[in-house]
Amino acid sequence: MKPRVIIHTAMSLDGRITNFPADLELYYSLAAQWNPDAILFGSGTVLAAVRDNPALAVPPEHEEMFTPPAGQPDPRPLLVIADSRGQVRCWDAIRKWPYMRDVLAICSRATPKEYQNYLKERHIGTIITGGERVDMREALEALNREHGVKTLRIDSGGTLNSVLLHAGLVDEVSVLIHPVIAGGKAVPTLCDPGQAGITGLQIHLVHKSTEVLKDGIVWSQYAVDGAEPVPVQ
C-alpha cells in the first residue's frame, strides 16, 4: 500500500516555483495541517538549498551527529531524499534541522557503492529500489511498509512532481499562489516532465477549495482525478 501523497507548492501567478519571495511561514504553517509522517525532497531541491546556503555543504561532521535518535516516540516527520546519483552530501546538516525526527535516503541499484557506503557509515537508513533511477511506486510502498508512512508531503521541484504525477502516485495538489509574476526562465515550474525524460503529461484535477489568505495569497487545493501521457506538440 502506498501513503496518501500531497504535493504542496508555493508558486507565482505565472506558475514559477522560484525567483520570487515565497511566504515560507505561511507555506509551512499550512503544510503542518496534514500532519505528514514523512516529507519527500527531490535531490534538486536539496542541491538548490545548498547553492543558496553554501554553509550547508561544509558542516563539521562528528560521530554523535550520525547517531540515530532514540528514546520516546517522536511525532515529527521523517525527512526523505530521493538521490540515486549520490549528490546530496550534507546529511549531517540536514539531520540538525529541528522539525524532523530522522532522515532517510532513497537510492537505486545504479547508485554508486561509494555513496551507499557513505550513507551506511553515517547510519542513514536507505531504501534501494529501481534500476537506473528510483522506482517511486516501490519506494512509496516501502515507506509505508517499513517506516509506517501513511501520509507523505512532497516538497520538491517540477521534476520529481512530474515523476510522481506520471506514475499516478499523487492524491492531492495544494498550491499557494502568490500575487507576483516572477518571469525568468521557463523552469522550474510545478510540473516539468521534460526534466524527468517524460515526453508529455496532462493531469486532471478536481477542485476542492480556494481561500484568499493574507497579502492576497490564494490557497487552492485539488484532488488528482487522473494522469495521462500526452504527445509533445
Q: Rounded to whole angstroms, how far apart are CA atoms 113 and 156?
A: 25
Options 2, 3, 5, 10; binder of ligand NAP; rule CB under 6 A: 10
Residues 185 and 89: their CA atoms lie apart, in Å, by 27
The interface mask with ligand NAP, positions 118-157, x = CB under 6 A, is ---------------xx-x------------------xxx
Q: How far is the CB of 60 from ligand NAP (least distance, A)?
A: 25
Q: How far apart are CA 226 and CA 220, in angstroms?
A: 18
Among positions 37, 83, 92, 141, the unique one binding ligand NAP when judged by CB under 6 A: 83
3-state secondary structure of 168: coil
Judged by CB under 6 A, does residue 38 bind ligand NAP? no
User: Is the link from the previous residue into 112 a cis peptide, with omega within 30 of 0?
Assistant: no
Closer by beta carbon to ligand NAP, 18 or else 70: 18
220 is an interface residue for ligand NAP by CB under 6 A = no
Q: Which of 42, 104, 140, 169 binds ligand NAP (CB under 6 A)?
A: 42
Q: Which residues contact 165 (CB under 8 A, 6 or more apart)?
A: 7, 191, 201, 203, 224, 227
Nearer to ligand NAP, 199 or 202 (CB): 199
C-alpha cell at 121: 557509515
CB of 1 closer than 8 Å to CB of 171? no
110 touches 118 (CB < 8 A): no
Positions in 54-73 near ligand NAP (CB under 6 A): none
Provide the binding-site residues for ligand NAP, judged by CB under 6 A. Answer: 9-10, 17-18, 22, 42-45, 48, 82-85, 133-134, 136, 155-160, 163, 188, 192, 195-197
